[in-house]
Amino acid sequence: MVVVGTGALACLFGARLQRFAGARVTLTGVWTEALAAIAAQGVRVEDDSGAWSARLEVASRTSSLGQADRILVLVKGYQTAEVAPVVARTLAPEGRVLTLQNGLGHREAFEAAVGTGRVSAGVVTLGATLLGPGHVRATPGEVVLGNGAATHSEGPLFQELLTDAGFDVRVEPDLEATVWRKLAVNCALNPSSALAGCTNGGLLQSPELRGTVVAAAREVGAVAAARGLDLGADPAELALAVAETTAANRSSMLQDVARGTPTEIDCLNGAVVDIAHRLGIPVPVNENLVRRIRALPRRATA
């Protein structure tokens, strides 16, 4: 099994799949410092059970990975176009891909590379913070898998593997609504916390920041409704609840901005803005967040 990525979630999933599910995992990426650290001492994990580690194979994306029956993609959204060819050349003829990335457009991108009916998608609500190369801290949450065409036929294997690896896994018939609920939360919290330089909980301490969270989430909800999706709850309330339950967390976008690396703004708020424009729906708060995040300085590469 190949796990594409070297970030916090990729390290966590790879380590649990190797240690608890008995999968033979190869972690592949471009972050040479992480690959070297994992090769030397394995992935180190801190979670509710304590501290532990798991040894797994590593390879750069330019390496020959052979053929893999199962590929789990956990890279940042802006890397999807880069890794799609890697997935295409690595996937075995009868293999399947599962993407658990944030944002929109990833499943479609991988289907374009490997063919329709071979790519499943899911949503992750658990937390993972990178403490250093190959070193991650995990917080509780769940993995939600859809039961569409690809996931219905091949999902049970992913579901079984992830369950055996210690993840709380749920199959959701209406995955798209689940994706948009998480999208509303991410679009509200991630850029707001990144721009303010505060934890999720810090967004609740300022009336202005709280107002931005509420407005951004509701704009996403309006776009979802225009697409015929019932999110089943006020997206603003969802975002505020997540901010409260994850008050101490530093969002992934805040961490990216602090490192000066690219962010996922284009597949989060940017994707919502693009859809809203096509539908003629005003989303001024999300447009402002996109402009401000894109204007931040960053290094040339991640």
The amino acid at 223: V
Cα 266 from Cα 269, distance rounded (Å): 6
In the set 76, 106, 118, 182, the catalytic residue is: 182
| Of the candidates 62, 67, 59, the residue with the CA atom closest to the CA atom of residue 10 | 59
59 forms beta bridges with 28
Rounded Cα–Cα distance for residues 299 and 198 (Å) = 21
The H or E element that residue 277 is part of is helix 269-279
Q: At what angle do helices 269-279 and 284-294 cross, to 10 degrees?
A: 140
Alpha carbon separation from 166 to 65, 72, 114, 137, 177 (Å, rounded): 26, 16, 29, 15, 25
d(CA 166, CA 163): 5
Burial of 261 (0-12, 13-18, 19+ CB in 10 A): middle
Tokens (6 digits) for 287:
């447009």
Q: What is the CA angle 282-284-290, rounded to 5?
A: 120
**Identity of the amino acid at 68:** A
Q: Decide if 76 is catalytic.
A: no
Catalytically annotated residues: 182
